[in-house]
């Protein structure tokens, strides 16, 4: 039977058992990815699992999120991560080397691999034909210890791309169109596979934009074929040995279908405060902008920056705004420097930033109060920029360039013919000197791991008690992001290795009194609307409430990664009917008198008492998830000898393990 590309890859990484959407499956992992904001806690949890070294063919620790180093805490974390990587066999990318998603596609991601990363935008590597999935730090640590990546088998959405993009319309507009159609909740439990005659029109950089932002739909991941454009990319990266063709079979079917006629697209823009508030740019033209930011983990490649430079060449940005540009990696920085793009951007008045996440995660360059900021980034959740009353719009590089030139939101088609790009370097300089490979195995145990005073162990995991009771600490609306639970920015991100200290910022934007009230009450419950925990994979959004005593969260629905993080940390996720959600009020005393018994029995509901009112909350958990919660969390479950999957779904050793990614020999040159 004709198979789509997703099914082909999943079958290669599964036992012989069949799988159906909705079932829980375990995938053999080829590559693991960490970054500094999630890496310290993930490494501390890996250490608690008692392994001697990582058990995946490749694990890479990037440092790209928090490089401001306001005090000792960030450099202490970076030193810890470098030492830990050397001790446990992890490749280490030094600060300033680039953003993890862009770098991983450049130097490591391979077609057909399964990649798990402690960052929701790990999905970027789908641009080269990998199944790349974001997860919480503890889930990634478990995979690095040798456990499979456990997922609910996703539905596969076939996205047929037809035709070619018109002038001024870019890959960003393709993913914005998909967000306009599906919303930030429309990809949950789904992998989006791109196919059709429009796919060869997109180079790997353009595919990276789409796969990066597929996470904004709540999707498991997105994947493109590994075709001739992929091979061209691998040749430029001097990694042609990592390329293999990988496409869907002719006549392959999908669980759902979307068709996008590229030729019919126009410049699009996402209004505040969600990536799915998408409208044509022409509907918001003339709105005065105070800031334009280009780059970050999306739209930071050569083509993205070069088109901006071509629009601005010989001109000056509008006097009413400031502009920043962030290259995705040192390789991109090298290319734009040697091609003249860097000079053109500087000449136009842009502020050039280092190859790091920067303003995308609130690390500097916050917009002025109440002003409009146009960004080619992937998220515009309220307050994420660092300014609480921000008005962030998401757009393509061409729209950003046109706006920077005129000072108001501008449809780039108003500028006339699209300029041609300056020639890129046919063979970019490949400089891996800032990528540090671990020492030989026999030398690793001698590595001493430095631990600064802000690096604290993860909160302990205790078995689920027979009953849970407490006050409703907060009732929120829909689409609460992980940034509300564990805020972005230099101050809070410096506390990512100290959960107790960081917990004081939980729900800071929605309710500045939350942390104090939670501590005073001895913990309690959170009640939320639809899509609770959307956005980042940061497990700190579960760890911080746990440190405040939260043992259960009730929501209309949950975002995939955050739901997994709650379970991994022993916090029970339950769903509420609309009437029960509407009846919930802050301060109510709730009780679950038989919660442990009900979870152990496999019940689909939990009895609830709220004063004189009784109701039932729904439980949608696999057998394994119930066992994890009963143990008190994934660490406790694995340390007690818990199995990764239920009988019949455990990983077997008969699948092809593939060839590991190994350190290149010094001076090794590959033909280009």
Q: Which two tokens stand for residue 529?
A: 């609307």
155-162 and 149-152 strand pairing: unpaired
- What per-residue confidence (pLDDT) applies to 518? 97
Q: What are phi and psi of 62, to 5 degrees?
A: -100, 150
User: How is domain 268-415 classified at the architecture level of CATH?
Assistant: 2-Layer Sandwich (3.30)
Q: Where are the domains of the chain?
A: 5-16+23-264, 268-415, 468-639
For helices 560-568 and 137-144, what crossing angle results, to 10°?
A: 70
Burial class from Cβ neighbours inside 10 Å (0-12, 13-18, 19+) for residue 425 reads: middle
CA angle centred on 165, ends 159 and 168, rounded to 5°: 135
Compute the radius of gyration of the chain from its Cα atoms.
24
What's the CA gap between 305 and 346, in Å, rounded?
12
User: 468-639, which class in CATH?
Assistant: alpha beta
State the Cα–Cα distance between residues 204 and 197, nearest whole angstrom. Answer: 15
Is residue 267 within 8 Å of residue 396, measured between CB atoms?
Answer: yes
The answer to whether 366 and 391 have CB atoms below 8 angstroms apart is no
Architecture in CATH for domain 5-16+23-264: 2-Layer Sandwich (3.30)
pLDDT of residue 362: 60
Contacts of 75 (CB under 8 A, 6+ apart): 69
CB 565 within 8 A of CB 541: yes
Collapse the DSSP code of 118 into the 3-class scheme (helix H, G, I; strand E, B; otherwise coil) and give the result: coil
**Farthest CA pair distance, the chain:** 75
Handedness of CA 626, 627, 632, 634 (dihedral sign): negative
Whole-number Å distance between alpha carbons of 83 and 668: 27
**Which residues of 296-454 form beta strands (DSSP E)?**
322-326, 351-352, 372-375, 391-394, 435-436
Q: Is there a contact between 253 and 160 (Cβ–Cβ < 8 Å)?
A: no
Q: 163 near 261, Cβ under 8 Å?
A: yes
Its pTM stands at 0.93
Q: In the chain, which stretches have pLDDT less than 50?
A: 645-672
Q: Quick one: tokens of 182?
A: 């599906």
Same-fold call for 268-415 versus 468-639: no
Q: What is the pLDDT of residue 644?
A: 58
């Amino acid at each position: 039977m004709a198979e789509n590309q997703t099914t082909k890859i999943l079958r290669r990484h599964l036992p012989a058992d069949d799988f159906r959407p909705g079932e829980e499956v375990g995938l053999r992992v080829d590559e693991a990815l960490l970054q500094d904001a999630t890496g310290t806690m993930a490494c501390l949890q890996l250490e608690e699992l008692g392994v001697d070294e990582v058990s995946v063919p490749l694990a890479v620790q990037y440092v790209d999120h928090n490089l401001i180093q306001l005090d000792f805490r960030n450099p202490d974390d970076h030193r810890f991560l470098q030492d830990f990587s050397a001790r446990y066999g992890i490749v280490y990318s030094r600060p300033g080397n680039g953003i993890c998603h862009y770098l991983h596609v450049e130097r490591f991601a391979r077609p057909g691999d399964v990649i798990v990363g402690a960052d929701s935008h790990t999905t970027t590597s789908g641009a080269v034909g990998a199944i790349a999935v974001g997860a919480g730090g503890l889930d990634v640590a478990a995979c690095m210890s040798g456990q499979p990546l456990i997922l609910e088998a996703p539905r596969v959405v076939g996205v047929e791309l037809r035709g070619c993009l018109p002038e001024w319309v870019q890959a960003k507009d393709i993913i914005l169109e998909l967000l306009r159609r599906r919303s930030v909740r429309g990809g949950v439990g789904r992998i989006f596979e791109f196919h059709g005659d429009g796919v060869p029109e997109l180079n790997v950089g353009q595919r990276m934009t789409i796969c990066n932002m597929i996470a904004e739909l709540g999707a498991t991941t997105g994947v493109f074929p590994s075709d001739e454009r992929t091979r061209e990319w691998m040749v430029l990266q001097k990694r042609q040995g990592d390329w293999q063709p990988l496409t869907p079979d002719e006549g392959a079917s999908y669980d759902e279908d979307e068709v996008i006629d590229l030729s019919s697209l126009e410049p699009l823009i996402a209004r505040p405060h969600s990536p799915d508030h998408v409208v044509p740019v022409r509907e918001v033209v003339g709105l005065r902008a105070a800031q334009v930011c280009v780059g970050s983990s999306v739209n930071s490649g050569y083509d993205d920056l070069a088109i901006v430079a071509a629009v601005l060449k010989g001109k000056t940005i509008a006097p009413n705004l400031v502009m920043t540009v962030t290259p995705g990696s040192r390789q991109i920085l090298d290319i734009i420097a040697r091609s003249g793009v860097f000079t053109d951007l500087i000449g136009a008045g842009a502020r050039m930033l280092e190859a790091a996440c920067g303003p995308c995660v609130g690390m500097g360059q916050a917009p002025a109060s109440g002003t409009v900021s146009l960004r080619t980034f992937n998220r515009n959740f309220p307050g994420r920029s660092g300014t609480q009353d921000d008005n962030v719009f998401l757009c393509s590089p061409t729209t950003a360039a046109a706006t920077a030139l005129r000072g108001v939101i501008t449809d780039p088609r108003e500028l006339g013919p699209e300029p041609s790009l300056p020639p890129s370097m046919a063979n970019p300089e490949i400089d891996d000197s800032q990528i540090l490979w671990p020492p030989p195995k026999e030398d690793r145990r001698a590595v001493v791991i430095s631990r600064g005073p802000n690096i604290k162990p993860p909160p302990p995991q205790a078995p689920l008690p027979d009953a849970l009771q407490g006050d409703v600490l907060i009732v929120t609306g829909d689409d609460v992001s992980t940034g509300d639970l564990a805020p972005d920015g230099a101050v809070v991100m410096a506390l990512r290795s100290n959960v107790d200290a960081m917990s004081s910022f939980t729900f800071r934007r929605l309710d500045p009194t939350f942390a104090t009230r939670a501590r005073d009450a001895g913990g309690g419950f959170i009640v939320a609307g639809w899509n609770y925990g959307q956005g980042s994979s940061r497990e700190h959004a579960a760890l911080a409430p746990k440190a405040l005593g939260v043992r259960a969260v009730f929501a209309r629905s949950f975002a995939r990664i955050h739901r997994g993080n709650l379970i991994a940390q022993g916090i029970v996720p339950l769903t509420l009917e609309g009437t029960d959600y509407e009846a919930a009020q802050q301060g109510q005393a709730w009780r679950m008198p038989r919660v442990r018994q009900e979870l152990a029995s496999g019940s689909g509901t939990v009895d609830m008492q709220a004063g004189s009112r009784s109701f039932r909350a729904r439980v949608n958990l696999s057998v394994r998830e119930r066992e994890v919660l009963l143990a008190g969390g994934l660490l406790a479950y694995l340390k007690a000898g818990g199995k990764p999957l239920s009988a019949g779904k455990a990983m077997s050793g008969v699948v092809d393990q593939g060839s590991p990614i190994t350190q290149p020999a010094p001076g090794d040159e590959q033909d280009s």
